[in-house]
Each structure stands twice: as structure tokens, then as C-alpha cells.
Structure 1
Amino acid sequence: MKPFFALALAAASTAASAQTPATNPMPDGSRDMYAGLGAVSRPRYEGADSQKVSALPVLQVQWSNGLFISGMSAGMHLSNRPTVEYGPLVSVHPNRDESGSGRIVDGVGVSTSPLHYARTGNRLDGMQDVSTRIEGGFFFNYYLAPEWRLTSSVLYGAGNDRDGARMELGVQRLAVQLAPQHTISFNAGATIVNADYSRAYFGVTGQESWQSGNPPYRPGGGLKDVRAGVRWNWALTPSWMLVTNVQATRLVGSVRNSPLVERPTNVTVSAAFAYRF
């Protein structure tokens, strides 16, 4: 059970990443579940100069048949090998509206009046909303050692045209014991996207330029960001724990030069209490 406990609530670190829990051997017909609530401070949107604080519901469930739910992602472990994890993965990519919020809603719309988008200091004013999308793909993880895991996932379906694709590559150092009830974990990684993804979230069309005042911009695909984070787990009791995450992400490549980007480096901080059922 220890690897699963060490990775529980991994999705609390960032809404943008599709996290997969470690394989958790258990008796047939059983399941392991964490649920909780916390708070997260994150950039208003990727590349924003301002932060927003919001409630953070967290959920992670794994069943003995390999199915799992981790935050806004779900998938299935298909491998029986202890050093390899792979399987299908689906994830919910949140929307982006003019406020920068990432609510799980749908709908695309822009005003046709440029007067509404006089320069207000909000670079998303006049930009088309990007709808919530269900992404599908797969994950593959490999253990270099019991405490070291290489992670990867490929997901497709983001953006209004559902043609945005992203690949996430990472490395994790699991469960460094600081004290009997305290462990700390480290992670680092990078995201590679196709041009359709870059243009959906960082591009500015001619129509959007006229409405928003941002110059037209057409980014290409490639490396989108690099990131590093640390997670602290405090086991308050055998059933209750406090999970705290800090993650820094830096936009790179052509998305870094988007007129929508105010600050290329952002920090996300979250803390949540969770109960193990």
C-alpha cells in the first residue's frame, strides 16, 4: 500500500497534468480510496501575472482490477510487471474564459463589439473562450528503482477543434522519509504539444486581435513548458493525511513569446486534507 499512499492526491499539484497513481496490489474485488478538500493558489491562466485562490476537491480511487480515478483523470493499469505501468488514460481539460477561470463547463462565444474590449489590463479580453474537452490517450511509466519512477502520457482532444495533443514526460523521487509520519516527494518534467494545442491556448487570430488589441500570433508545436515540484505528506492518523504541493512551471518555446503571456514562470501551491476509506 505504501507506493499508493505516497502518490495519493498527486492531481492536487496541478490541474494541467494527468497524473497516474502507482500500481496498488490488493485482494480481488477491493478498492483503495482517498477523498478530501483543500485550497489551491494558481495562476489565473497559463502565463498570467496574477494568482487566484479556489477550493480544491480531491479524489483518488483504485480498484483491484486496475481501474483508477486520480483527480480529473481516469485510466486502467494493464501491466502485471512490478517495474512497468501502462494503459489507457482519459482526462478532462478545463475551459478558459475571459476571466481566466478553468471551470468545467462548455460553450464558445465572443462579443462582436471591440468597444467591450478596451484595454483593461486583461489580455484575455476579446479572446475566444476555449471549451472544456475530454482528452484520450495512454500512459507509460517505468521504475528505475523502487523510489524512482519515469512517467509519460500522451493525450489528444484539447482545444475548441478537439485537435490539440500533448505529451508529458517526467521523473519522480518517491517517499523520502523525514519522520515517522512525514514523507516528501520530488518531481520534474516537461510538456510537448502540437501546433494545434499551442494555437488554441496561446495563439491570437486576426479576429481576436481586432477585438482584444493583442497582436496576431501563430505559435508552433514543440516544447511548451518545464516544471519541478515537491510534495509533503503528513499522515495525521492511519486514515487522515495532509498533502501540500508546490510546483513551479516555466513556459518555453514559441508559447513563451505569445502576447497572452504576462509572466513565463508561475508557481502553484496547494494543501488538502484527505481521508482514506
Structure 2
Amino acid sequence: MPTTYKKNSAPIRAWLCMLLTLFACLGASQARAQTPSPLPEWAYSVGVPLRKLYTTDLPTWEVRVGAAMTVRPRYEGANDYYILGGPSIDVRYKDLAFASTGEGIGFNAIHTDRIRMGLAITYDMGRREKKDHDHLAGMGNIGIVPESKIFAEYVVSKEFPLVIRANIRRQLGGSDGWIGDLGAYMPMPGSSERFFWFLGPTVTFVDSRYMQTWFGVNAQQSARSKYAEYHPSGGIKSYGGGVSGIWMFSKHWFATADFGVSQLVGGARNSPVVQRSTNLTGDISVNYQF
């Protein structure tokens, strides 16, 4: 633990209690689509495992709705960006089940003060050839598919609320591949009663089927496109990090904002369909909590 944290542990603990109790009332209504993007996977559920650590007074139902806008690359490695708008929905029943535009639909099989583990169904928006015909002509489409997800989160301690999150996802169609994420984040100093933020890194692993579908070029694609055959192996796909912030306007109204960066590496970075190995994303949402 850093020396500066030890020297100021009492005021920092008080600040964290205020910060996270406030967040417990707010929840994690992050409005984003769960799909390949430079946003860290932990950002889809940021703050959720910290709630029970700082308060036991969780309501039976938590419902938040709003509108969101995201700016992101058309696909991982694309040079062009686009704007996506849509609803923000986050519904939670006790500490057992949830339905969210970010985290998906799932339940918490284990939910203690410091551990949350469960299953969820999310989705992948795929990739459309016509959206970037100059670079994807002949590559075909990758369809929109659901993903099954197993996730686990662990909070180090109340005094040092670092959250470590891991998940494994299986695409049910599309690449039929496996994806795994390992990340961590914690609340940052400099917040107030109306604003607080989180920061952390992430790394993503994929198997060879996912890598081939998204970054490879098979014989048929090579014959139809301008690319030579390319067969990348599985491993680390990317690493990066992100920032998530929340502003409270009143008891019911609040806004969220996120920024993420992802660096493709290895077989993904060397893919002929990749135009830019560093990708960015950002989103904002305005929400109402019932």
C-alpha cells in the first residue's frame, strides 16, 4: 500500500465511505452495448461489487432508465468512427438478478460483501462488410450473436477498495470463440458529493477461432478480397484501460461518462484488415432513477 495512503488513511476512509455510499444509492447504470470496443469490460458493471461493502440497505428493486450516446470505431482496428445512440436501462432485484444494456441479463450466484460471481447473457453486434467496403470488401459479415458469460469480482478491502474483475465469454454463433478479460479499477481521489470517478486497466485474451473470424483471412476471403491468407493464433488480443465518471444532478437525475483506450497486439495488430491498432471510445448518458 502506498505510503501516502497510509499517512492519510483516516480522511481517505471517510471520503471513500461517503463516495461509495453515494454510489450505492446510484448503482451502475452505464449505458453501453456489450460488444467489441475499446471500453474495458469492467466498465459495464463499475461500482456494483462495492455497494454491499459500504451499505447493507439495498432496495428490493432498483430501476434506472435514460438515453445514451457512444462514439466508437466501426470495428476493432477500423480507421472510421461512428455515433450510436439508444436507451440506457438498468434494473436490479436485490443482489440476485439484473438486466442492463451494459452488463446484460444475469444473476449473481455468489454475492458476499467482497465477492460477486455469476452468469449472464450479453451480445456482440458483429461486423458488416458494407459499413467499410473499401477495407472489408470480400470479407463477408460477422453476424450479431448472443454471448454467455461467467464473471467474478473481488474487492481487496474496505480500506483499499481495489476491485479485480475477470470474465470468460463464449460466442453462441459468429466466431463461436472464447473471450476472456482480466481487469481492475478503484475509486479515485478528487471527487465530491455530486461527482466521483473510477480508473483502471484491462487485458483481453481470445482463442484461435475468435482471432481467425475477426482478424484472419481464410482461403475463400482471400479469393474474394485484396488480402493474402492470414491465420493468427489465439492469445492476448489487446490491453488498455478506461475512466468512468458519474455526476449527480439531484436525487433522481444523474449523468455518466466513460472513456476507453485499447491497443491491439500480436496476431490482431498484424492483421491485414486492421488499419489502426490503437482504438478509442467515449460515451455519455443522462438517466433517471426511480
Fold equivalence (TM over 0.5): yes
* Corresponding residue for residue 209 of structure 1: 222
Deviation at 1:168, TM superposition (A): 0.7
Give unmatched runs, 5+ long, in structure 2: 1-20
Structure 2 residue aligned with 1:129: 141
Choose the corresponding residue for 1:81, options 112, 115, 121: 112
Change (3 A) 1:145 1:176: farther
Cα deviation digits, residues 129-174 of structure 1 (max 9, x gap): 111111113111100134310001101125535x210011100113
* Equivalent position to 1:230, from 235, 240, 243: 243
Q: CA deviation at 1:7?
A: 5.7
**Identity over aligned pairs, percent:** 24
The gaps in structure 1 that reach 5 residues or longer are 102-119
Question: Which residue among 87, 90, 101 is the counterpart of 1:60?
Answer: 90
1:69 positional shift: 1.9
For residues 56 and 251 of structure 1, do their structure 2 counterparts lie closer, same or farther at Cα, with a shift above 3 Å needed?
farther
Distance 1:47 1:40, change over 3 A: same
Amino acid at match of 1:57: P
CA distance in 2, matches of 1:4, 1:256: 39
Q: CA RMSD in A?
A: 2.4
1:9 equivalenced with 2:29 (yes/no):
yes
Q: TM-score, normalised by structure 2?
A: 0.81
Matched residue of 1:167: which SS?
A: strand
- Quote the Cα distance in structure 1 between the aligned partners of 2:265 and 2:31: 23
More helix by share: 2
Q: Which has the larger share of strand?
A: 1
Q: 1:270 to 1:28 in 2, by over 3 A?
A: closer
- 2:61 corresponds in structure 1 to 31
| Counterparts of residues 158-237 of structure 1 (less than 5 Å) | 159-160=173-174, 163-174=176-187, 176=189, 178-237=191-250
CA drift of 1:257 comes to 0.5
Q: Which residue of 2 aligns with 1:110?
A: none
Deviation at 1:180, TM superposition (A): 2.1
More displaced 10-residue stretch of structure 1: 150-159 or 5-14: 5-14
Moved more, 92-101 or 225-234: 92-101
Alignment partner of 1:123: what SS? helix
TM-fit CA distance, 1:53: 1.2
Count of aligned positions: 257
Aligned residue in 1 for 2:285: 272
TM-score relative to the length of structure 1: 0.84
Asked if the contact 1:126–1:211 (Cα under 8 Å) also holds between the matched residues in 2, the reply is yes
Give the counterpart letter for 1:96 in structure 2.
R
User: 1:199 is paired with a residue of what secondary structure?
Assistant: helix
- Does 1:149 pair with 2:163? yes
Shift in CA distance, 70/145, structure 1 to aligned 2, threshold 3 Å: farther
Q: Which amino acid aligns with 2:246?
A: N
Alpha-carbon distance in structure 2 between the residues aligned to 1:6 and 1:247? 22
